Chains A and B, each alone.
Chain A
Amino acid sequence: GQSLEQPSEVTAVEGAIVQINCTYQTSGFYGLSWYQQHDGGAPTFLSYNGLDGLEETGRFSSFLSRSDSYGYLLLQELQMKDSASYFCAVRDSSGGGYQKVTFGTGTKLQVIP
């Protein structure tokens, strides 16, 4: 089956840069996405990588290396409101179709003053 591993917790200082890693094992890989979830809320989409390389969206960037089954989310100029949980997710064909989306274990980011 598929699995996605992330660090459980990360603490960083306001204004700094933080990187959240994600390693995955899956079959029929169709891309890696990142989501943010504040406590009590629903996840919201942040970034997507279908091909190797870096994608930049404002303060957030995401990287993918398919040969290493590895990706990361980079958050720059951290703000207090960035304190949340971050999830990586893969779409693959392991379920017999092509729309199965599996989420990682999540990384709780705490931004401190």
Chain B
Amino acid sequence: DGGITQSPKYLFRKEGQNVTLSCEQNLNHDAMYWYRQDPGQGLRLIYYSQIVNDFQKGDIAEGYSVSREKKESFPLTVTSAQKNPTAFYLCASKQGALSGANVLTFGAGSRLTVL
């Protein structure tokens, strides 16, 4: 079945450590996204990528980095520069058509806790 796989589901990190969250999709979608969600809050855009080897900062990119070397993969690194990284991280993808429904497909999420 086509979908998005995020790993790990739960992750614990010590302060000062970098951590990388994996996101893989087999939907052949062009665009991929990373969002952060804090308890009781909405989804805030960290980074997005419209095509391979291209990505743009979202609204809260500071302290995060991404790469898009393959169409299927869009890993997110939470660096030690991110002051409050404990959150629920969601990866999503969509077809890259200019028109048509804005349908994002989400992974199950990764819950990061900083100890």
B68 in the interface (beta carbon within 8 A): no
Tell me which of A10-18, A43-51, A67-75, A76-84 binds B.
A43-51
- Chain B interface extent, by class: 20 to 34
B101 in the interface (beta carbon within 8 A): yes
Within 8 A of B (CB), among A5-39: 30-33, 35
The residue from B41, B48, B92 contacting A100, defined by CB atoms under 8 A apart: B48
Give the A interface residue count (CB, 8 A): 29
Which of chain A's residues have a CB closer than 8 A to the CB of B57?
A: 95
Which of chain A's residues have a CB closer than 8 A to the CB of B42?
A: 87, 103-106
Which of chain B's residues have a CB closer than 8 A to the CB of A91?
A: 102
Is the Cβ of A96 less than 8 Å from the Cβ of B56? yes
Given contacts A42-B107, A42-B108, A42-B109, contact A100 B45 (CB under 8 A): yes
Give A47 Cβ to nearest chain B Cβ, in Å: 9
The residue from A32, A42, A104 contacting B90, defined by CB atoms under 8 A apart: A42
Which of chain A's residues have a CB closer than 8 A to the CB of B53?
A: none
Q: Per-position contact with A for B79-115: 1 when CB-CB < 8 Å, else 0?
A: 0000000000010101010111111111111000000
Number of A-B residue pairs with CB-CB distance less than 8 Å in the complex they form: 77
Which of chain A's residues have a CB closer than 8 A to the CB of B50?
A: 97-99
Which of chain A's residues have a CB closer than 8 A to the CB of B44?
A: 103
The residue from A89, A97, A104 contacting B56, defined by CB atoms under 8 A apart: A97
Which of chain A's residues have a CB closer than 8 A to the CB of B107?
A: 42
Is the Cβ of A31 less than 8 Å from the Cβ of B101? yes
Chain B's closest residue to A2 (CB) is B59
Is the Cβ of A33 less than 8 Å from the Cβ of B108? no
- A-side residues, CB < 8 A to B, are 1, 30-33, 35, 41-45, 48, 50, 87, 89, 91, 95-106, 108
26 contacts between A and B (CB under 8 A): A30-B99, A30-B102, A31-B101, A32-B102, A33-B101, A33-B104, A42-B90, A42-B107, A48-B101, A87-B42, A89-B102, A89-B104, A91-B102, A95-B58, A99-B94, A100-B45, A101-B48, A101-B92, A101-B104, A103-B42, A103-B44, A103-B45, A104-B42, A106-B42, A106-B43, A108-B40
